[in-house]
């Protein structure tokens, strides 16, 4: 790790040569800003249309109608029946509900779960909890591109397997998993299949019926909607236990007064994501490709983690050899540039990324990795600015590093 004094010295040298300062946000996989259209849709429900959707008078019925409309908007994005969409407080709750609800409902049938080594911690930590309470979990590995090993997954199935949970798009390296193939394996063995689609929603095409998905987790704040709102898709005919107990909200499946403004915002964000899907993917992938091409060509000793084919359109996970990603992040921040050293949910941890570890990246290189994710408001000028600063920062940090290409690790 570069010392604090050295960092300050680098910072002074860089700032001295800096021209125009600008704010560039390249962490869209962590969260997204609420779009103006979404905020405009939400605002009346804070003051004028504030009713409780469970109330039977006009103000309550107006609120209930808004929830119903939002449910239809989210369902349309994933090609589901609105009655199959249940609102939650976010992706983490949806993941927890899917796992705990399925395991509780099916515990008489078996106690074995299959997931992967690269899941979000909302899944991994839930599985760890279940292991402490009598369930067995198999963690399947990935190949060099970051995709699940389908043979290993199918070979792991036993007569006690009740649930398979595999994320649709990885939050660190952006790899899109073969969800249709996994769903077919699960169906062939009469096993319930859940996918965490938090990073996938609005970024890859999703048709829950065509893909054979039983349960699917979603989040609003990844698609330019408000934080604190999500949903769980539960295919018609699938039965899982309730996770929250109390009132009869969400057709009696998820207790608690609905987050009206959050639900309205999620619905509008889903509608915009559906309408502008092709435009969004084209914009993000074009800028991401431009960024990756320039970094790999203009900054030596850099590597892209994961494959460029079948990847989140805005994701670039890059290793800068011989220096630490945290130092890059802190110095980029001095120039108004926001990036991540991995999953934003665990970026404060000093533990090496479990995703890159599963990918086979050496520990010393994992610590030199930075995740850049572009979004709808990113411009080519933003990318040029980031690369300009990145080249200077990497050069300065490597000049201070005790290791380099000649000396080795």
What is the rounded CA–CA span in Å between residue 132 and residue 291?
Answer: 44
What is the rounded CA–CA span in Å between residue 217 and residue 34?
Answer: 20
What is the rounded CA–CA span in Å between residue 128 and residue 21?
Answer: 45
Active site residue 345: yes
Give Cβ neighbours of residue 11 (< 8 Å, ≥ 6 apart): 331, 334
Pairing of strands 136-140, 112-116: parallel
Q: What are phi and psi of 238, to 5 degrees?
A: -85, 135
| Beta strand extents in 279-368 (DSSP E only) | 302-304, 315-320, 337-338
Q: Of 103, 127, 284, 345, which is the active-site residue?
A: 345
Nearest CA to 311 out of 177, 202, 150 is that of 177
Nearest CA to 95 out of 120, 75, 77, 128 is that of 120
Give Cβ neighbours of residue 192 (< 8 Å, ≥ 6 apart): 102, 106, 162, 163, 164, 186, 214, 215, 238
Catalytic site positions: 345
């Amino acid at each position: 790790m570069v010392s604090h004094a050295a960092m300050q010295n680098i910072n002074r040298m860089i700032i001295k040569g800096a021209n125009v300062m600008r704010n560039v946000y390249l962490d869209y996989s962590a969260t997204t800003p609420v779009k103006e259209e979404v905020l405009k849709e939400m605002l009346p429900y804070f003051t004028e249309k504030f009713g409780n959707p469970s109330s039977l008078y006009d103000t309550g019925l107006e609120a209930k109608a808004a929830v119903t409309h939002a449910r239809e908007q989210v369902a349309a994005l994933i090609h589901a029946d609105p009655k199959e969409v249940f609102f939650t407080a976010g992706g983490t709750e949806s993941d927890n509900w899917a796992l705990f609800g399925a395991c509780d409902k099916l515990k008489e049938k078996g106690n074995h779960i299959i997931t992967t080594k690269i899941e979000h911690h909302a899944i991994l930590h839930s599985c760890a909890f279940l292991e402490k309470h009598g369930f067995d979990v198999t963690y399947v590995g990935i190949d060099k591109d970051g995709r699940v090993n389908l043979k290993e997954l199918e070979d792991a199935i036993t007569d006690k397997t009740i649930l398979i949970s595999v994320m649709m798009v990885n939050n660190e390296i952006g790899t899109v998993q073969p969800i249709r193939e996994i769903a077919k394996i699960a169906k062939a063995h009469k096993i319930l299949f859940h996918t965490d689609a938090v990073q996938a929603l609005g970024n890859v095409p999703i048709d829950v019926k065509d893909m054979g998905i039983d349960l699917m987790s979603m989040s609003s704040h990844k698609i330019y909607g408000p934080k604190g709102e999500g949903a769980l898709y539960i295919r018609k005919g699938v039965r899982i236990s309730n996770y929250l107990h109390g009132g009869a909200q969400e057709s009696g499946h998820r207790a608690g007064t609905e987050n009206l403004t959050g639900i309205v915002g999620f619905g509008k964000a889903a509608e915009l994501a559906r309408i502008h899907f092709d435009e969004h993917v084209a914009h993000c992938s074009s800028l991401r490709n431009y960024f990756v091409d320039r970094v790999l060509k203009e900054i030596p000793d850099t590597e892209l983690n994961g494959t460029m084919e079948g990847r989140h359109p805005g994701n670039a996970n890059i290793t800068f050899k011989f220096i630490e990603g945290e130092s890059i992040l802190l110095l980029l921040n001095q120039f108004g540039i926001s990036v991540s050293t991995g999953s934003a949910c665990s970026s404060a941890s000093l533990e090496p990324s479990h995703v890159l570890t599963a990918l086979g990246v050496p520990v010393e290189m994992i610590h030199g990795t930075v995740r850049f994710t572009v979004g709808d408001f990113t411009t080519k000028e933003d990318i040029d600015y980031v690369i300009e600063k990145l080249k200077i920062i990497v050069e300065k940090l490597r000049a201070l590093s005790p290791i380099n290409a000649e000396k080795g690790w």
